[in-house]
């Protein structure tokens, strides 16, 4: 077929060397072919919509029509609306509680599960369940347990003499319940991340520290924390992204209510587009959220680098 060394066809009888294959046009072409399907999907499903979304955010359109160009009008509208800031505030609280709440619970359990306990393997599997079970299922179960004053948990509280709050109907309690639900869903992930980091610590180090008279707290602060710092920062970043982008955890439990008390930015964006049919402002909300998320991630990434350099 061809005699050039840079493009050795298969079955030409000529045995190509590694170098030829690696550097040859043929190899480059193959590599391109291998990556092409994935590149096509990325552009179609991820990149194109993102660019189109930005275009939408500059127009006063609907889901079916593009509408006239309005510049940054949608952004100023959104930024001056109280609903946006209310949702932003709740997203912040939800994220902070979600990240650190699940981290503390996950860390505590990971430390506990590291010690000698009968049936440790069973507990490890059981404690993963909140994370393995689909949110749609667990939110249904939580609804059963909490939703009305006659539900099992309020009934139990009333029975033992505690005046049960309306977990999902009172604005403040709904916020607390949604945050607790998020912690419940996410702590196994943190437990898994921390366990993996802790597994790399040699037990001899603690033995030596104890010999030197270090207290449990000192051992934790001076040995454990520095070792798990890197993985902790990574899990914080991931969990921040998960919390900010979270939709089902909130929407399935409260639908964003009562009186918008648990409306996060994603829920607000979803409702603006698919319930109020205002595409421009809805997409603008999603964009503002994305920008904030990228900034927060960058700040946290710097922290990781600092931790890694220590």
Partner 1 sequence: MSILHEVEAATPEPVQNSATADRESRGQWWRFALIAIISIIMIIPVVITVILSLRPGLTSTTAGFTFENFKYVFTSTDTVKWLGNSLAVTIGTMVVSVIVAAPAGYVLSRGKSRAVSGYSLLLFVIQSLPVITAVIPLFVLFARIGLVDSLLGLAIVYVGASMSVATWMMAAYIDSIPITLEEAAWIDGASLFGGFRRVVLRNSLPGVMSTAIFTFLVSWNDYLVAVVFLRTQTKYTLPIGLQSFFQQNATDWGSVMAVAVVMMLPPVLVFACLNRFFSVGGVGGSLAGQ
Minimal distance, residue 158 CB to partner 1, in Å: 18
Location of structure tokens 């929407």:
251
110 binds partner 1 (CB under 8 A): no
Cβ atoms 290, 269 nearer than 8 A: no
Q: Which is nearer to partner 1, 92 or 113 (CB)?
A: 113
The residues facing 59 across adjacent strands are 69
215 binds partner 1 (CB under 8 A): yes
User: Encoding tokens for residue 239?
Assistant: 């969990």
Minimal distance, residue 242 CB to partner 1, in Å: 5
192 binds partner 1 (CB under 8 A): yes
Residues 15-54 that bind partner 1 (CB under 8 A): 15-18, 21, 26-27, 30-31, 33-35, 37-39, 41-42, 44-50, 52-53
The residues facing 69 across adjacent strands are 59
d(CA 50, CA 37): 19
Q: Taking the CA of residue 160 as centre, how many other CA atoms within 13 Å lie in the half-sphere pointing to its CB?
A: 5
Choice from 180, 238, 261, 300 touching partner 1 (CB under 8 A): 238
Q: Which is nearer to partner 1, 13 or 161 (CB)?
A: 13
Tell me the per-residue interface mask from 144 to 173 with partner 1, x by CB under 8 A, - otherwise.
xx------x---------------------
Which residues, in sequence order, are CB contacts of 234 under 8 Å at separation 6+?
193, 304
Residues 69-98 that bind partner 1 (CB under 8 A): none
56 binds partner 1 (CB under 8 A): yes
232 binds partner 1 (CB under 8 A): no
d(CA 270, CA 248): 11
Choice from 112, 155, 225, 295 touching partner 1 (CB under 8 A): 112
213 binds partner 1 (CB under 8 A): yes
> How far is CA 175 from each of CA 88, 134, 149, 160, 164, rounded to the nearest angstrom?
13, 21, 17, 24, 16
Cβ atoms 66, 59 nearer than 8 A: yes
Residues 251-290 that bind partner 1 (CB under 8 A): 251-252, 266, 269-270, 273-274, 279, 282-283, 286-287, 289-290
Cβ atoms 94, 243 nearer than 8 A: yes
Q: Which is nearer to partner 1, 39 or 308 (CB)?
A: 39
């Amino acid at each position: 077929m061809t005699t050039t060394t840079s493009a050795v066809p298969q079955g030409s009888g000529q045995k190509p060397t590694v170098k030829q294959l690696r550097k040859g046009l043929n190899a480059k072409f193959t590599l391109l072919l291998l990556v092409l399907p994935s590149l096509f999907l990325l552009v179609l499903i991820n990149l194109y919509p993102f660019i189109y979304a930005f275009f939408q955010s500059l127009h006063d359109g609907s889901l079916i029509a593009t509408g006239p160009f309005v510049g940054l009008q949608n952004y100023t509208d959104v930024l001056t609306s109280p609903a946006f800031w209310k949702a932003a505030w709740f997203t912040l609280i939800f994220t902070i509680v979600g990240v650190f709440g699940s981290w503390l619970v996950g860390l505590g359990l990971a430390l506990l599960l590291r010690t000698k306990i009968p049936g440790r393997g069973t507990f490890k599997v059981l404690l993963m369940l909140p994370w393995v079970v689909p949110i749609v299922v667990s939110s249904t179960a939580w609804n059963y347990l909490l939703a009305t004053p006659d539900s099992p948990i309020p009934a139990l509280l009333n029975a033992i003499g505690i005046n049960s709050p309306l977990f999902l109907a009172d604005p403040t309690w709904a916020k607390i319940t949604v945050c607790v639900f998020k912690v419940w869903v996410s702590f196994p992930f943190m437990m898994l991340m921390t366990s993996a980091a802790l597994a790399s610590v040699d037990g001899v180090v603690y033995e030596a520290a104890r010999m030197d008279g270090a207290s449990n707290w000192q051992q934790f602060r001076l040995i454990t924390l520095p070792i798990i710092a890197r993985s902790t920062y990574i899990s914080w970043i991931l969990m921040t992204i998960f919390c900010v982008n979270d939709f089902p955890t909130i929407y399935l439990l409260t639908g964003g209510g009562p009186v918008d008390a648990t409306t996060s930015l994603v829920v607000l964006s979803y409702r603006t587009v698919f319930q109020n049919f205002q595409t421009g402002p809805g997409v603008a909300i999603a964009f503002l959220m994305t920008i904030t998320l990228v900034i927060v991630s960058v700040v946290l990434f710097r922290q990781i680098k600092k931790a890694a350099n220590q």
